[in-house]
Structure 1
Amino acid sequence: MLRLSWSTFTERWPLFVGAALTVCLGVALVQSSLLVLISVATLDAPAGLSTTELAGFAESVEVGVTLSALTLAFSAFLTVFIVGSTFAFTVAQRRRDLALLRLAGGGRGQLRRLLLSEAVLLGGIGTAAGVPVGLAVMAFQSWLLGALGFVPPGFTPQWRTWILGVSVGVGLAVAVAGVLVAARRASRVQPLEALRDSGEAARVMTAGRWGAGGLFGAGAVALVVLSPLGGAGGGQAMAVNAALCAAVAFSALSPLLVPGIARLLPAQAGGVLAELAGANLRDGVRRSASIAAPLIVLVGLLLGQTAALTSFATAAAAEQRRGTSGDLVVEATGAAAGPWVSGVPGVAATSTELTVPISVTRGTGEDAETERGAALVVDPAAYERFHPGTAGLAGLRGRAAAAGPGGDAGSPGETVAVRAGGADLGPLLVVAAAPARIGGGANLLLPAGLVPEHELADAPSRTFVALHPGADGMAVAAAVAAVGEVHTVDEWSARDAAARDAMSTSVLLVIMGLGGVYALIGVINAVVVGASARRPEFAAARAAGLSRGQVVRSALLESWAVTVIGLLLGVLAAGTTFLAVLATTAVVTGAATLAVPWPFVLTVCVGAFLVTGATSVITSMSATRTLPVALLGSRE
């Protein structure tokens, strides 16, 4: 058995190297994301921070924890998906060898033990390499979070010895799980059927694939339908996850979808080589599906996530502009700026909003939950004037609060315990609610006079200014510039929209950056593994009269055809997120919004063609290096 394993390894080393590589990178991503998450979550605040600085530190930590958790979840999903599909494809590529083993007297149990022992060995090798690689990935992740401002300056993730156990568990578990189902199916196929590739051996769409495709497909439909009912926060989460479910569903059904779409491609218009590529694509269903699957996931998630973040940022910017009136915005510090601006000649009305950090406790006893956030200290009447659609805040006075546009801090009729900065405000009755916004905002609105003045001394303030008719706007702006930074409302909205776009790009880079590279490597690995078993096929094509260059070009056309199909299915998967985004923004903001970043879409498509094309050319040239007569003769 050992000799057989070694012989198989030396003959088909790309299969084993690719499998070990996927385990290595998966372990590295999960290990790094977990260590970064724990290090951010347990980070202690530096001594001597003011209340505002402490709130900024807490907000930075909270954002870092959220992004690290999302990165960990995304990394774990990709690890399970890519390692599982790689190991299953590896077993499928060896079905002839496994059939010969059965004919030579090997039992089903021996075959399963062989495959599982190889999975443990490859999982161990991948894990051993993944641990040190994970350290490099962790250093890059922490640098990226710091460079984008998602963690406090000087953040350094801490190594924890117990992570070795987690890494070993992840590496071995995903390797064994990836080969377990394939080994069971391989042991049940009759040897002669495997050799002739007929009967059960030729059946690619298994019950597991049908079940996964149906389950995740139904999940994608459900998320699209329910997203407009989820409100500002829940709707966004469901919209983002719709593409994930659809991509998994299409990947599971790829053995059915890829050859079906391949029949629609105009192969006859491309000549003999294109027809040969089309025939190979339809006949090599396992190979085509295994290459398309990671591409579907990569494209679906990248386009879905990017379009969702961009669309919600665009909708938030438009929503904010519609919900803000006035002529000027003055940004300053402390409560004194508002009264000073009100006295400037030409100013008709003002509304000053001061941002203070808060912690809100809901419930009592063991059911009590405390969350951090931000509150706006406002004058209710002035706030309603400068924020159309927020009527109903007349009861916001005394010891009361109103739910802010960010929500999550109470609902009308509920009593919450609030601490603003270092001041304990005690229990407050939530008497009203501002409309929830898709772009979020303050968790609570507090009336002026409730928060102690010393807590507002260094609080960021924003004063909206309405001018008298005929007033010289430039003169007023020059006058109020003495207390803060002045912008027109349109300029302020445009600057805020640009900040939202930058934030969306940064979030996408953190969550999808390394994961996208991993999925791309999965695509490359699938192309390499698929080509490693095609040496006899290429030799037979050359013996039939094709030149080496023609064989390589045919393989390139086939690879590009699979890329077209993978991109198409990936875009369709992202389309479920597009639909959910349109439905959510229509309900929450009143205007359906979809902003597709077409330059990014074009970059992804061109990049996919370049990667799969280059990989196909390199692997097919390597596979055709041996003379066809020598290779075919060795197979007699």
Structure 2
Amino acid sequence: MPGLSLSTLRDRWRLFTGAILTVALGVALVQSSLVVLMSTGEPEIPAGASGREAEHIREGYVGAATLLGMVVPLALFLAVFIVGSTFAFTVAQRRRELALLRMLGGSRPQLVGLLLAEAVLLGLVGSAFGAVLAAPATWAQSSLLVRLGFLPDGFTAVWSFAVLPWSFGFGVAVAVAGVLTAAWRAARTHPLDALRDAPSAARVMTVGRWLVGLSALACAAPLVAAGQSADLLGALLIAMAVSILGAVGLSRLSPLVVPLTGRLVGLVLRTSPLGELAQANLRDGVRRSASTAAPLIVLVALLVGLTGALGSLARATGEDLKRNTAADLVVESSGADAARIAALPGVAVASPQTPLEVSVTAQHREEGRSWRRTHHSGIVAVDPAAYGRTHRPKPRRGSLADLRGRTIAVGPGLAGEGLRVGSAVTARIGDRRVKLRIVALMRETLENNSETFLVPRDLIPPALTADTRTETLVQVAPGTDPRAVADRVRAAGIGEVRTLAAWARGRVDAQQRGNVGILAVLMGMSGLYAAVAVVNAIVIAGAERRAEFAVARVTGLTRSQVVRTALVESAAVAFIGLALGGLVAAAALAGFRDGPGGVRILAVPWGLIGWLVVSTFVITTVANLLTTLAATRPVPVSLVAARE
């Protein structure tokens, strides 16, 4: 059996090229992720780094490890899904060959064993290529994480041979998992049915396809309903789950849509013989069209769904900032210059917020456990009275009126971390260690990296804040034009002035840049996987349709007409993938219609959608054109009687 599997791979390597490449990409991604992940175990803190810098490095390492932990299961899902889809199509193209083995005495277990042996060999070959590709992938992944700010400059991933067994195990497991269903289905095929030239399109919808498709949609439907009443974090998680479940469900059920699309093509091009031929080919080549559309459905659903969800969350953060901030202008200056703003004509309230180079050690208590943690980032010096007037949310516990002297308030960034009003923390301010009492607990906000602690300005020596970058929220006096006050700030040389909307947009853009970076890590491979799978399905289908194209040519069609017919089919299949993927993405984003205060926050990534539409039609058109030209190059008469 291994010898027969090896000869099959050697003789029909074109059928397996796409699956091997997909396994190789998955192995390269997983192996590089494991290497980088093992290298982020214990961060190296540079000598002389401040507490804030050390905390930032540690948080970056944790963020990188979390992101890589998301990459591995996503790579596993995509690899198994696309290898399974590709191999299912490959097995379908070999129906006559497999039927002949059955007629020569091969049993069903032997046929399953043959296909699984091919899968093992395919997994080993793909893993070997993937191990080679892992070196540049590790470098690219490390560089991307450094650029995104997760890892410090100069980070180097340390290679370990311990990942090789895991890589080869992953490659073989992905190949076997992807082939298993197709092998079982092929073994159940009756030899005489498989030898027919035109198997019924309805048989593409097997019991397994119905079961997986309907089960996935049945799981996704209640999640879509739950997303209507979920909070924003819940809506984000639901969007991720719906994108995956919906993509799996509709890709399994996509053969039902192919004949309908064929009828639509027939209506649009019913006056053209080429349109009628394309419609007939779509109706009869359901499995071929569904195999090409499946990776497109997954790509569009994941990429548009996740991008729209993160964009909507960022827009909600901006609306939350504007809704919670009672100010007209925001001035960025030094701490010393910020003290001059309140004296300018037209300024009613000036609330300076200065990040501090101090540390706070607190005892956290939550669900019967407690732990001590030292915080260095997000500690801000404020004027309690002005802060209360420029921030609309009131403390969840305690009062800002008590924030004076040796006291401290828990900011929005730690509101849910088990800190209690009345407990004590230890702050290191310069060379002093000071015990502070928690007097207020602020409400949580949507913004990432918001303030962790609020310290009264009268507790901080002016020398520590004089040269520190400070943001001052400014309320102008009633009847005063904010633009006039902004001009006075600029004329006084105090600092940069922005409107509240521009300030909120800037903070949201900074958060969104991180989101885009995360998507670049997570979804870049999805696009590559989808492109490989689509091109592979087109190449396999074109290679196996040489006799069909030859028959069309000897009956009167020219070579260019055959090519144009294939391009019409390709456009219809691309439309199916984009439409079904868009339907899943729309369901995933349904929970983002309303945000804080009833504001519509849904951010539809129209630019990304346009790019996906254009690139999809370009890739499918070019791949189909080249494949069809290659398949129609031989003289038609030489292929009319050919049997693939």
Is the structural similarity TM-score above 0.5? Answer: yes
Displacement after TM superposition at 1:535 (Å): 2.0
Q: 1:49 to 1:450 in 2, by over 3 A?
A: farther
Letter in 1 for 2:85: S
Q: 1:560-616: CA deviations, max 9, x gaps?
A: 11001111111111101221221xxx2545312222232321121011001001101
Asked whether the 8 Å contact 1:124–1:168 carries over to 2, the reply is: yes
Q: 1:606-636: CA deviations, max 9, x gaps?
A: 1100100110111112222222322234439
User: Following superposition of structure 1 onto structure 2, how do residues 66-215 of structure 1 map, counting pairs within 5 Å?
Assistant: 66-196=66-196, 203-215=203-215
Asked whether the 8 Å contact 1:18–1:529 carries over to 2, the reply is: no
- Separation in 2, partners of 1:408, 1:375: 16
Equivalent position to 2:634, from 619, 626, 631: 626
Displacement after TM superposition at 1:126 (Å): 0.5
Q: 1:420 to 1:272 in 2, by over 3 A?
A: farther
Identity between Structure 1 and Structure 2 (%): 42
Q: 1:184 to 1:369 in 2, by over 3 A?
A: farther
User: What's the counterpart of residue 317 of structure 2?
Assistant: 316
Displacement after TM superposition at 1:366 (Å): 8.8
Displacement after TM superposition at 1:108 (Å): 1.4
Equivalent position to 2:625, from 606, 614, 617: 617
Equivalent position to 1:569, from 568, 576, 580: 580
User: Following superposition of structure 1 onto structure 2, how do residues 180-579 of structure 1 map, counting pairs within 5 Å?
Assistant: 180-196=180-196, 203-265=203-265, 266-269=267-270, 271-332=272-333, 339=339, 341-343=341-343, 347-355=347-355, 362-363=364-365, 367-368=369-370, 374-390=378-394, 395-396=399-400, 397=402, 401-402=409-410, 404=412, 407-410=415-418, 431-434=440-443, 436-442=444-450, 444-448=452-456, 461-468=470-477, 470=480, 473-474=485-486, 476-478=488-490, 481-482=493-494, 485-579=496-590
Q: 1:499 to 1:193 in 2, by over 3 A?
A: same
Letter in 1 for 2:193: E
Q: 1:418-459: CA deviations, max 9, x gaps?
A: 87899988897685442x433345264434279876996587
User: What's the counterpart of residue 603 of structure 2?
Assistant: 595
Letter in 2 for 1:326: A
Q: 1:540 to 1:199 in 2, by over 3 A?
A: closer
Asked whether the 8 Å contact 2:262–2:280 carries over to 1, the reply is: no
- Separation in 1, partners of 2:100, 2:362: 68
**Matched positions, count:** 630
**Range moving further from structure 2, 345-354 or 357-366:** 357-366
Letter in 2 for 1:24: A
**Range moving further from structure 2, 85-94 or 386-395:** 386-395
Asked whether the 8 Å contact 1:189–1:201 carries over to 2, the reply is: no
- Superposition RMSD on alpha carbons, in Å? 3.4
Q: 1:395 to 1:591 in 2, by over 3 A?
A: same
- Separation in 1, partners of 2:247, 2:362: 39
What SS does the corresponding residue of 1:45 show, helix, strand or coil?
coil
Letter in 1 for 2:154: G
Displacement after TM superposition at 1:94 (Å): 1.1
Letter in 1 for 2:485: G
What SS does the corresponding residue of 1:157 show, helix, strand or coil?
coil
Q: 1:526-583: CA deviations, max 9, x gaps?
A: 211222222222222223222222222211111111001111111111101221221x
Asked whether the 8 Å contact 1:45–1:54 carries over to 2, the reply is: yes
- Separation in 2, partners of 1:214, 1:254: 12
Displacement after TM superposition at 1:140 (Å): 1.6
| TM-score, with length taken from structure 2 | 0.87
- Separation in 2, partners of 1:421, 1:124: 59
Letter in 2 for 1:111: L
What SS does the corresponding residue of 1:269 show, helix, strand or coil?
coil
What SS does the corresponding residue of 1:632 show, helix, strand or coil?
coil
- Separation in 2, partners of 1:565, 1:86: 18
Q: 1:124-181: CA deviations, max 9, x gaps?
A: 0000000111211221222223234342212222212111111101100010111112
| TM-score, with length taken from structure 1 | 0.88
Q: 1:349 to 1:627 in 2, by over 3 A?
A: same
- Separation in 1, partners of 2:182, 2:323: 56
Q: 1:44-72: CA deviations, max 9, x gaps?
A: 22121112322332343344333333333
Asked whether the 8 Å contact 1:27–1:171 carries over to 2, the reply is: yes
Displacement after TM superposition at 1:338 (Å): 5.2
Q: 1:244-302: CA deviations, max 9, x gaps?
A: 22112111211223333433343543611121112111211111111000011111122
Q: 1:269 to 1:480 in 2, by over 3 A?
A: farther
